[in-house]
Chain A
Amino acid sequence: MGFYVLSYLCAAVFMLVTGYLIYRQMTLPVHVRWEIYPVQHETAARTAYGGSYLEEINWWEKKQKRSLFNEIRYMLPEILLLRGLWKENRTLWQVSFPFHFGLYLMIATFGLLLVNSLLTLWKGPVFASGGNVKTILDSLIVLTGWSGLILGNVGSLGLLYKRWTDPELRNYSSFSDYFNILFILLFFLSAFVSLLFDPFLEGAKAYAFGLLTGGLPLNAYAPGQSISGGTVIVSASLLVAYIPLTHMSHMFMKYFLYHRVKWDDAPNRRGGSIEAAILKNLELKPTWKAKHVEADGRKSWRDIASSAPKEMK
């Protein structure tokens, strides 16, 4: 039961921290525009060269054309295949891609394990032993599990090697950078060793079933019977809790980096929601100390912006 408690606790930490990170981003004040082109929700003709709606005469009189399709078309290969890294830093991509794709496949495997558990709980005839659905699902679990672990091990070993041996990377790497990769490598390695003894992931299926049922055993399964199996459960659980606490949260925070900054080109229109947010911001009272700012904690941004500085410095 201890393994399950650990997994539940770590999942709770993940959800709480991730929730906090997202909440914090959602509640930050509207900032000034700082987009950078190409902005991928522009029309296809414009994204091809990085153009914007600002290229149109009297652009404010026209409805801004945005394309969700273009955005998705760009983001999918960016997220799944790390297209940006492929283009700009090919040698790093050679190790970063297997690392990241290995992680994605592990997430996919876990998702499939949960589906498997749900269908097992449901006990529907469609999911009967020997049936097509079960066979397909079992095969997918094996496929994603094996390929994910092979890629993950290759990627994390490659990343570790690259960070350690490339002077450019090593010069800026701290203990925590190595620790992060080693931590993930520990998971990938232990999971791979477990896989060698359990190539069809029966133990993983049983553990996922136990996760959904509060530890209900499947086929008299007890988690963590082997050292590698126990290490997988502990390292995977701790990793889930650890990732949002580090810069590795870029896995999901990238959404804000792109949508709230890099591609945030929404114009401020009179009477609109952006204007309302700006009006609120302008009432904030800065306390910058340089004399030319002339902030005294009572004057608002509005007051200061509409005045001229009396002091030079």
Chain B
Amino acid sequence: MKKLLKPSDLARPSDCLCHIEPGELSPLPAPYEDFNQVTIPPLKPEKIKNIEASLDDTVAIGISKPASKEEEEKLIRQFLSGLKKLFEKENNWTFLQPLMLSMEHCAKCQTCSNACPVYEMSGKKEIHRPIFRSEVLRRIYKKYLKPGGKITAKLTGDIDLNWTTIARLAELSYRCTLCRRCATVCPIGVDNGLINHEIRKLFSQEMGIAPKEIHEKGTVQHLRIGSSTGMNPLAAKDSIEFIQEEMEEITGYKVEIPWDVEGADILLLHNAGEMLAWPENVGAFAIIFQAAGVSWTLSSEAAGYDAVNYGLWYDDVQFSRVAVRHADIARRLKVKKIVIGECGHAHKALTVIADRLLTGDLNVPRESALVTLEDIVLSGKLQFDPRRNDFPVTLHDPCNVVRAMGIVEPQRRILRKIAPRFREMTPHGVENYCCGGGSGFAIMSGYNFAQWRNLVSSRKKFLQILNAFEGELREVPKYVCAPCSNCKGAIRDIIGYYHAEERSRLYYSGLVELIVNAMANMKKPIIRFGEEPLWE
């Protein structure tokens, strides 16, 4: 029997601690068997010469190796200093209690492992067990920061602390999508997803270590330029102008998208990625709101047109800055509420997490667009012809909307009204599986991380989607409704990577597109499968 990796092995020298061999990943059904022997392409040695790349077959951060022994020791000291701060209220009031409880009460029963899609799909590799990285952190904490830890470590679990341990731990914290499925099944209530989140914070807030895509190009760019996409306010306005024109051309419906309307009922916050990658989503929102006579506005202020808050995944300070910026824009616009568009992490960031950060008049009411849309769709203000959506539809549940917020039924009530061939995935709702792009993975593609995501972290979702459409003929177009930008990004990549449009006629998009597509007064369909219009 193959020897299992132990948490203490993280400190052990090795060129690649965890390698996935061809055929080890969970098998895919027909017509995708040819992917069963595919594995993550190796990184070129010259590309990883100077960075930490010894954890597994991929690299998410690309941490530079220390140049000298002194530098290595300094980095270890920094790590321990950051670890200590995680347990101080001045530094970590935000998550101190949840962290302490999860660190102190794990019974190591492994119930969480069975719930983790990354662990399952990786071929049950030890490093992907939810408890693995938690146990590494727990052992370091007890041994190096608790009085007498070096002695008690022999009894409670030992680990060596060196640069390799630290750098691999940083990398390993970006192999979990923070979907928190593990936390829902823990009989004690321990949350390994949270511990992973705290590991990321330690590296970012103390050592300045985080993937470029979510820090430099993410929150920093968001706060400096106005959007993590790099769009400044002028570019955002241009995009919206283009979307208005496109919408009229595509649907025959003339839409006016309002900017900076003081005192509007709703400030709609979109993930700005929608404007660039899925402009029809932004346009569909505008059509619905206009047709329903809603008083609403977008904001053209920097950060006000981009709902994302990547800080949620790795850094409380950056998170707070973005959340305060969003709330302040709404406050100054004097809107009655903020409605968050189809972006899962933005939902959780601004509605739930920032709830205990925003005080006084910054505490502007926040609502999910799924709830607002349900109110409109079921109110009778719009007329629908559901036959226009006469194709198989399944719904992907974004973890941040469903498991983290309990918003489960509004989107389903809408679909039951407008999509006659809607069917659920198994499992769904609060037991759903992550798209594999959660916690920043959907936007991370440096080195060969995108391949790792498609092959490992998104694999379970791909299987779920295929199962949901089991029995449908290949030539029938199938629609995956994913009301979240990051999830859409991940699903787009799965479909592309596995050639699923060609092989299964899989398509994806959001919820508002389906709503608009079923609106009786639309002259032309907004949804097209390839070049083929749905109805005309």
Q: Which residues of A contact B (CB under 8 A)?
A: 25, 28-39, 42, 46, 49-60, 78, 82, 84-85, 87-89, 92, 96, 167-169, 171-177, 179, 247, 249-250, 253-254, 256-258, 260-262, 265, 267-268, 270, 274-275, 278-279, 281-282, 284-293, 295, 301, 304-309, 312-313
B residues less than 8 Å from A82 (CB atoms): 187
A residues less than 8 Å from B6 (CB atoms): 171-172
Kindly state the separation between the CA atoms of A285 and B430 in the bound complex, as whole angstroms.
37
Having A177-B108, A290-B206, A292-B317, one finds 8 other A-B pairs with CB under 8 Å, namely A32-B355, A51-B408, A54-B368, A89-B110, A169-B110, A172-B135, A176-B155, A282-B357
A residues less than 8 Å from B405 (CB atoms): 37, 52, 54
Distance in angstroms from B317 CB to nearest chain A CB is 5
Report the nearest A residue to B375, measured CB to CB. Answer: A57
B98 on the A face (CB < 8 A):
yes
Asked whether, in the complex, the Cβ of B180 is within 8 Å of the Cβ of A36, the reply is: yes
B304 on the A face (CB < 8 A):
no
Asked whether, in the complex, the Cβ of B191 is within 8 Å of the Cβ of A34, the reply is: yes
Q: What's the count of A-B pairs with C-beta under 8 Å? A: 271
Kindly state the separation between the CA atoms of A241 and B135 in the bound complex, as whole angstroms.
25
B residues less than 8 Å from A87 (CB atoms): 185
Asked whether, in the complex, the Cβ of A34 is within 8 Å of the Cβ of B189, the reply is: no
Asked whether, in the complex, the Cβ of A54 is within 8 Å of the Cβ of B320, the reply is: no
Q: Which residues of B contact A (CB under 8 A)?
A: 1, 4, 6-7, 78, 81-82, 85, 89-91, 93-98, 100-102, 104-111, 113-115, 126, 131, 135, 154-157, 180, 183-191, 194, 204-208, 215-216, 220, 223-224, 317-318, 320-321, 323-324, 337, 351-360, 363, 365, 367-368, 371-372, 374-375, 402-410, 429-430
Kindly state the separation between the CA atoms of A85 and B107 in the bound complex, as whole angstroms.
12
A residues less than 8 Å from B363 (CB atoms): 268, 270, 275
- Which of B188, B205, B410, B429 contacts A288 (CB under 8 A)? B205
Asked whether, in the complex, the Cβ of B402 is within 8 Å of the Cβ of A37, the reply is: yes
A residues less than 8 Å from B372 (CB atoms): 57
Asked whether, in the complex, the Cβ of B91 is within 8 Å of the Cβ of A286, the reply is: yes
Kindly state the separation between the CA atoms of A168 and B204 in the bound complex, as whole angstroms.
32
Q: A31-B93, A33-B352 are in contact. Are A288 and B85 (CB under 8 A)?
A: yes
Report the nearest A residue to B197, measured CB to CB. Answer: A34
A residues less than 8 Å from B337 (CB atoms): 58
A residues less than 8 Å from B320 (CB atoms): 301, 304-305
Kindly state the separation between the CA atoms of A197 and B371 in the bound complex, as whole angstroms.
67
A residues less than 8 Å from B114 (CB atoms): 88-89
Asked whether, in the complex, the Cβ of A282 is within 8 Å of the Cβ of B359, the reply is: yes
Kindly state the separation between the CA atoms of A53 and B269 in the bound complex, as whole angstroms.
21
Kindly state the separation between the CA atoms of A256 and B104 in the bound complex, as whole angstroms.
12
Kindly state the separation between the CA atoms of A301 and B90 in the bound complex, as whole angstroms.
9
* Max chain A C-beta neighbours (<10 A), residue from B82, B207, B355: B355
- Which of A50, A265, A282 contacts B402 (CB under 8 A)? A50
Report the nearest A residue to B356, measured CB to CB. Answer: A32
A residues less than 8 Å from B104 (CB atoms): 247, 249, 253
Asked whether, in the complex, the Cβ of A261 is within 8 Å of the Cβ of B191, the reply is: yes
Report the nearest A residue to B364, measured CB to CB. Answer: A60
Kindly state the separation between the CA atoms of A82 and B110 in the bound complex, as whole angstroms.
15
Distance in angstroms from B295 CB to nearest chain A CB is 14
Kindly state the separation between the CA atoms of A250 and B107 in the bound complex, as whole angstroms.
9
Asked whether, in the complex, the Cβ of B113 is within 8 Å of the Cβ of A49, the reply is: no
Kindly state the separation between the CA atoms of A74 and B285 in the bound complex, as whole angstroms.
39
- Which of B1, B7, B321 contacts A172 (CB under 8 A)? B7
Asked whether, in the complex, the Cβ of A279 is within 8 Å of the Cβ of B98, the reply is: no
A residues less than 8 Å from B356 (CB atoms): 30-33, 268, 274, 278
Kindly state the separation between the CA atoms of A295 and B320 in the bound complex, as whole angstroms.
14
- Which of A49, A59, A284, A304 contacts B89 (CB under 8 A)? A284
10 contacts between A and B (CB under 8 A): A36-B180, A51-B407, A58-B337, A172-B108, A175-B155, A249-B105, A261-B189, A278-B357, A288-B206, A313-B208
B residues less than 8 Å from A309 (CB atoms): 220, 223, 318, 321
Distance in angstroms from B82 CB to nearest chain A CB is 7
B residues less than 8 Å from A33 (CB atoms): 352-353, 355-356
Asked whether, in the complex, the Cβ of B85 is within 8 Å of the Cβ of A287, the reply is: yes
Kindly state the separation between the CA atoms of A288 and B94 in the bound complex, as whole angstroms.
14
Asked whether, in the complex, the Cβ of B220 is within 8 Å of the Cβ of A260, the reply is: no
Kindly state the separation between the CA atoms of A96 and B430 in the bound complex, as whole angstroms.
26
Report the nearest B residue to A47, measured CB to CB. Answer: B406
Distance in angstroms from B400 CB to nearest chain A CB is 11
Asked whether, in the complex, the Cβ of A28 is within 8 Å of the Cβ of B321, the reply is: no
Distance in angstroms from A160 CB to nearest chain B CB is 14
A residues less than 8 Å from B208 (CB atoms): 290-292, 313
Kindly state the separation between the CA atoms of A286 and B317 in the bound complex, as whole angstroms.
10
Report the nearest B residue to A297, measured CB to CB. Answer: B90
Asked whether, in the complex, the Cβ of A304 is within 8 Å of the Cβ of B403, the reply is: no
Q: A54-B405, A281-B93, A304-B317 are in contact. Are A38 and B430 (CB under 8 A)?
A: yes
Distance in angstroms from B187 CB to nearest chain A CB is 4
B residues less than 8 Å from A85 (CB atoms): 109, 111, 187
Asked whether, in the complex, the Cβ of B321 is within 8 Å of the Cβ of A307, the reply is: yes
A residues less than 8 Å from B85 (CB atoms): 286-288
Distance in angstroms from B250 CB to nearest chain A CB is 29
Kindly state the separation between the CA atoms of A196 and B53 in the bound complex, as whole angstroms.
61
Asked whether, in the complex, the Cβ of A54 is within 8 Å of the Cβ of B317, the reply is: no
- Which of A37, A57, A88, A292 contacts B318 (CB under 8 A)? A292
Asked whether, in the complex, the Cβ of A31 is within 8 Å of the Cβ of B371, the reply is: no
B residues less than 8 Å from A287 (CB atoms): 85, 90-91
Asked whether, in the complex, the Cβ of B93 is within 8 Å of the Cβ of A284, the reply is: yes
Report the nearest A residue to B124, measured CB to CB. Answer: A168
Q: A60-B365, A288-B205, A292-B317 are in contact. Are A254 and B188 (CB under 8 A)?
A: yes
